Amino acid sequence: MMLKVDGLRKIFDGRVVLDGVSFEFDAGERLGIVGRSGCGKSTLVKLIARLIDADGGSITFDGEDITRLTGVRLRAVYRKMQMIFQNPEEAFNPRRTLGWSVGEPLRRWSMPNVEARVEELLKAVGLPVELAKRYPHEVSGGQCQRAAIARALALEPKLLICDEATSALDVKVQAQVTGLLRRLSVERGIALLFITHNLAILPTLVERVMVMHDGRVVETGAVEDVIKRPQSEWTRELLAAEIFSTEAN
């Protein structure tokens, strides 16, 4: 079992944001987590990535309880777990080139042949090596997100967590990035946790989907089953909202 979340709770300012969330998935599996803004999905992945602390429950990653890990032991976890955020340009140092930033994890862990490895990583995500000399503001949003994926791959992680990683991109670029993530997951055996409010992009990317509402899991199943035969009223509302939005455009 790659990841097991059991009874996870989080409270902010007296309000329960996550209320006993439990799920698990295997190595190499691709799981989508969907729900409206404010449902708790981003809080959930911040807890899994140990960016914030849980108020209850446990997180087991790659056989180790990481719920309260800190320091050197948590740093070791980050070699196996990487996160990709919504706004790629904000994830980079604006005063450093993309190549420098992609190679940063390699230098931090004293890896050899950093420049050659950076070139390999850029090629792996479909970027020309010349972009290594560019700064984040000098490339498109899609190129910047590909560079963020390249950096996340640098330490050969077992799990990629993508928090709304395509929501800032246009529809065409969204499809390209989700296709890239799926290919990398399959080819490299990387587990993928993909958080989004958009159910429509999931069928070509993930195998299972988990729907959240008001801090709880309201439905879980194979992505096609959830989309074609939703069991929860909240899932049906999400699907109806997407259909209405598509028709309006």
Q: What is the mean pLDDT of residues 174-193?
A: 93
- The answer on pLDDT for 89 being more than 50 is yes
- The answer on pLDDT for 243 being more than 70 is no
- The answer on pLDDT for 32 being more than 80 is yes
pLDDT in tens, 117-127: 999 999 999 99
Check if the beta carbon of residue 222 is closer than 8 Å to that of residue 207: yes
Q: Which two tokens stand for residue 65?
A: 């309880």
DSSP codes, 102-159: HHHHHHHTT-S-HHHHHHHHHHHTT--GGGGGS-GGGS-HHHHHHHHHHHHHTT--SE
pTM listed for this prediction: 0.91
Please report which confidence band the pLDDT of residue 242 belongs to, taking 50, 70 and 90 as the band edges.
low
